[in-house]
Chains A and B, each alone.
Chain A
């Protein structure tokens, strides 16, 4: 089992859009995929039309009273399940704080799912918090969407420093440019220049496209609703690159 987290300290950079599309593409490749929506805004749950409610809320989940297993819902797509968000997740930090070894908590909770899933995506809320520490501990690869600006590159450095300071497990970082607007000179320059210089930035970039924004209207991954679109093509390239760079083993052959 490999765990990917889509994460950025900043919000509104395309985390959920990438998590939803990459999770869908992974399931199409034949992996058994779970997408965990850890963001109380519940955007991923909304996109998959799953009601954002987990019995007992975040409290029961973190306390381990209710296993994650019972909360999981199938999406409309084969091989792709969702752990829905819950509004109580806004307090996850407080709940984690009360738990033993809070930074390891998510890793422990996900461990029993090893037999059921080949790939897990964690979609989490922005910011640096106990939850994000726990997410970084659970992830094998952190996918970091970046808007091609100087400032956002600084946040990548901050994250890299933070991970560098973690004890024990340190996830691999794979950043990629998101919401790339080719009409903007700065976007063009940064997105061309940086991947060539930095090995932690992917060669594939996701452009700013209205189809991606419309996902919230269609309530479906763009890779499923418009598989031939430019947006879908970019996500496929990004997934290929993430698969290769994270050394994800081939999916088990279908039974």
Chain B
């Protein structure tokens, strides 16, 4: 669709029926019918966490008269990339029109190239569907020459809920007639029943269906007040984590993309950390009953996620081969995929189980009761300050004790301490100055990345040995594949050594007086 000069919304359908009766006083304009009326089937696509919307991009699939096109537009409606996809063809060149799909399912081309950096490994899924009935009107000057085109869009939303969106008018100027179109825009803006269209078509469709673009984010988005009771604050955070967890269940069961499980696991890990580190302010019986349940849930999700991590980094590992080739690794990849399929079935079964639904239901009730019966002391800021200070002291003490000769185990332990501090900073993040909190998390993340690399490469190397042994047992491993796997293991060992050599520098930065002062100032300010 051509860029619109201006968009308007009409109060009701009655106005839409009588658009040509809209008075255009003082201007020698008149209305005429355009040559086209058409119906468009529209599907807006985005990732579950609205990556396109948050980047100011809109991806829309439009079908009309047997033709289907996918168009990516920017903030001002400018077309960035477009691709024809025919609904009848399902081969690679024709592209998929079945959503949700991963980006790789789109035909290779400009569209895919523009989407990849934003969408990454996430699937594109329909966020709204609608049928637009468009009729074109022309606005004529006194010579009966068209000086602007106005298109009237009556949109029926079919997903996420059936609803009628307010009729929209868009005015397009014709080349050489900008002044007349601007005059028309002024007149329309002043006409009764016409309001400025500040929403995009997608936003209007979602609003009609009772949803809002960008309404999901994996981040903890609870606003805590420093003086609220600690138990209420913690219950609020845990409820938000439960919301995130629940939001990701369906995508995890359907295996829409790997990040549903990832976000679900993060919600579980944050919940477990919050219970362990600050659970003392909640009723003891509640914490006692649910800590083992969340451990069960965490363990349920581990095998699939571990295999996901392997498979997501597979092409990177294959690219690093010096002696071996991609094709030699293929049996290893097939093996991982088979294992993952089995793990995913287990996981889906677990998430459909009565134990899981009981956990979710009872946890929500328990939290709302805990929030209601909270004591006034300690306050959220007091609890956060004491827990963050303690976790921070432990990271500084444990990290300072690690020498060049220290065993790998001590670094693994330090990684756990860092995670605790990180979760606390995130859970209580809304109590603090956002810039200071962001800086503190950034400094910690720098250290965590190094510790993560150190441990993950070790775990992966051990796993690859175990995989090799299992593949031998199952006679699924040609010699060339085992050799290539050996090469990957060697590469992992090298990366681990590099991470080890970087550790002391990273820790020095984290433990610097300025960085330590920042954490102290942060918690002191909120608790004051």
Shortest beta-carbon distance, A35 to chain B, in Å? 13
Closest to B79 in A: A255
Report yes or no: A49 in contact with B143, Cβ–Cβ below 8 A: yes
Decide: A74 near B177, CB < 8 A? Known: A49-B143, A51-B143, A255-B82: yes
- Bound Cα distance A51, B138 (Å): 18
Within 186-221 of A, Cβ neighbours of B (below 8 Å) are at 219
Provide the residues of chain B in CB contact with A159, threshold 8 Å.
none
B177 neighbours in A (Cβ, 8 Å): 73-74
B176 pairs with A49, CB closer than 8 A = no
**Interface magnitude class on chain B:** 10 to 19
Q: Are B82 and A50 in contact (CB under 8 A)?
A: no
Q: Scoring A residues 104 to 116 as 1 if CB is less than 8 Å from chain B, else 0, what string do you get? A: 0000000000000
Contact of B145 among A71, A72, A76 (CB under 8 A): A76
Q: Does A86 contact B (CB under 8 A)?
A: no
In Å, the complex CA distance between A14 and B374 comes to 92
A76 to B137, CA, bound (A): 12
Are A50 and B79 neighbours in the complex by a CB distance under 8 Å?
no
**B176 and A76 contact, CB distance less than 8 A:** no
Known: A255-B79, A255-B82. A81 touches B145 (CB 8 A): no
Complex interface: chain B residues within 8 A of A219 (CB): 144
Which B residues from 143 to 158 make CB contacts under 8 A with A?
Answer: 143-146
Complex contact B175–A81 (CB within 8 A): yes
Q: Across the interface, do B138 and A76 meet the contact criterion of CB distance under 8 Å? A: yes
Contacts of A76 in B (CB 8 A): 138, 145-146
Residues in A neighbouring B143, C-beta threshold 8 A: 49, 51
Interface string of A21-57 (1 = CB under 8 A from B): 0000000000000000000000000001111000000
Q: Is B280 an interface residue (CB 8 A)?
A: no
Q: How far is the CB of B25 from chain A (nearest CB, A)?
A: 23
Do residues A74 and B175 form an inter-chain contact, with CB atoms below 8 A? yes
Q: Which residue of B lies closest to A76 (CB)?
A: B146
- B174 interface residue (CB < 8 Å to A): yes
A49 pairs with B144, CB closer than 8 A: yes
Selected contact of A73 from candidates B79, B138, B144, B176, CB within 8 Å: B176
Residue of B nearest to A69 (CB): B175
Interface digits, A62-79 against B, CB 8 Å rule (1 contact, 0 not)?
000000000111101000
CA distance A239 to B175 in the complex (A): 26
> B129-151: which have CB < 8 Å to A?
138, 143-146
Residue of A nearest to B173 (CB): A74
Quote the shortest CB–CB distance from A168 to chain B (angstroms): 33
Query: How far is B144's CA from A73's CA once the two chains are assembled, in angstroms?
Result: 15
Within the complex, the shortest CB–CB distance from A104 to chain B, in Å, comes to: 27
Please, how many angstroms separate the alpha-carbon atoms of A64 and B327 in the complex? Answer: 63
The residues of A that contact B175 with a CB separation of less than 8 Å are 72-74, 81
Across the interface, name the chain B residue whose C-beta is closest to A83.
B176
> How far apart are the CA atoms of A81 and B176 in the complex, in Å?
9
B 144-184 binary contact with A (CB < 8 Å = 1; else 0): 11100000000000000000000000000011110000000
Are B176 and A72 in contact, with the CB atoms below 8 A? yes
A239 CB to nearest chain B CB (Å): 21
For the complex, give the distance between the alpha carbons of A219 and B146 in Å.
Answer: 13
Q: Please measure, in the bound complex, the distance between the C-alpha atom of A255 and the C-alpha atom of B82, giving whole angstroms.
A: 7
| Nearest-CB residue, chain A, relative to B143 | A49
Give per-residue flags for B76-87: 1 if the beta carbon is below 8 A from chain A beta carbons, else 0: 000100100000
Residues in B with CB closer than 8 Å to A49 are 143-145
Interface residues of A in 213-255 (CB under 8 A from B): 219, 255
B residues 60-112 touching A (CB-CB < 8 Å): 79, 82
Which residues does chain B contribute within 8 Å of A50, judged by CB atoms?
Answer: 145, 176
Contact B176 A74 (CB under 8 A): yes
A115 shortest CB reach to chain B, Å: 14
Q: Which residues of B contact A73 (CB under 8 A)?
A: 174-177
- Residue picked from B144, B145, B146, most chain A C-beta under 10 Å: B145
The distance in angstroms between the C-alpha atoms of A71 and B174, with both chains bound, is: 13
Of listed A49, A71, A76, A81, residue having the most chain B CB within 10 A: A76
A98 to chain B, nearest CB (A): 27
Chain A residues near B176 (CB-CB < 8 A): 50, 71-74, 81
* Minimum C-beta distance from B170 to chain A (A): 16
Q: How far is the CB of B295 from chain A (nearest CB, A)?
A: 55
* Complex Cα–Cα for A71 and B175 (A): 9
Cα distance, A197 to B109, chains bound together (Å): 51
Closest to B36 in A: A78
In whole angstroms, what is the CA distance A74 to B172 when docked? 12
By a CB distance below 8 angstroms, the chain A residues around B144 are: 49, 219
Q: Report the Cα distance A255→B176, complex, angstroms.
A: 23
Residue of A48, A74, A219 ringed by the most chain B CB atoms within 10 A:
A74
Q: Which residues of B contact A255 (CB under 8 A)?
A: 79, 82
Give the distance in Å from the alpha carbon of A50 to the alpha carbon of B176 in the complex.
Answer: 10
- A74 adjacent to B174 (CB under 8 Å): yes
A50–B177 CA distance with the chains assembled, in angstroms: 10
What's the nearest-Cβ distance from chain A to residue B141, in Å?
8
Task: Report the separation of the CA atoms of residues A149 and B145 in the bound assembly, to the nearest whole angstrom.
Answer: 38
Q: Which of B82, B146, B177 has the most CB of A within 10 A?
A: B146
Complex: how many Å from CA A181 to CA B145? 33
- Cα-based distance from A255 to B70 in the complex (angstroms): 11
How far is the CB of B103 from the nearest CB of chain A, in Å? 21
Which residues does chain A contribute within 8 Å of B174, judged by CB atoms? 73-74
Most buried by B among A48, A72, A255: A255
Would you give the shortest CB distance from B69 to chain A, in whole angstroms?
9
- In the complex, what's the smallest C-beta–C-beta distance from B18 to chain A, in angstroms? 24
B137 shortest CB reach to chain A, Å: 13
Measured in the bound complex, the distance between the Cα atoms of B176 and A48 in whole Å is 13
The minimal Cβ–Cβ distance linking B14 to chain A, given in whole angstroms, is: 29
Q: What residues of chain B lie closer than 8 Å to A48, measured between beta carbons?
A: 145
Give the shortest distance, in Å, between B226 (CB) and chain A (any CB).
54
Residues on A with C-beta less than 8 A from B145 are 48-50, 76
Q: List 12 A-B contacts (CB under 8 A).
A: A48-B145, A49-B145, A50-B145, A71-B176, A73-B174, A73-B175, A73-B176, A74-B146, A74-B174, A74-B177, A76-B146, A219-B144
For the complex of A and B, the 6 pairs showing the least CB-CB separation, nearest first, are A73-B176, A74-B174, A49-B145, A74-B175, A76-B146, A49-B143
Enumerate chain B interface residues (CB-CB to A < 8 A).
79, 82, 138, 143-146, 174-177
User: Given A73-B177, A81-B176, A255-B82, list of 13 further CB < 8 A pairs?
Assistant: A48-B145, A49-B143, A51-B143, A71-B176, A72-B176, A73-B176, A74-B146, A74-B175, A74-B177, A76-B145, A76-B146, A81-B175, A255-B79
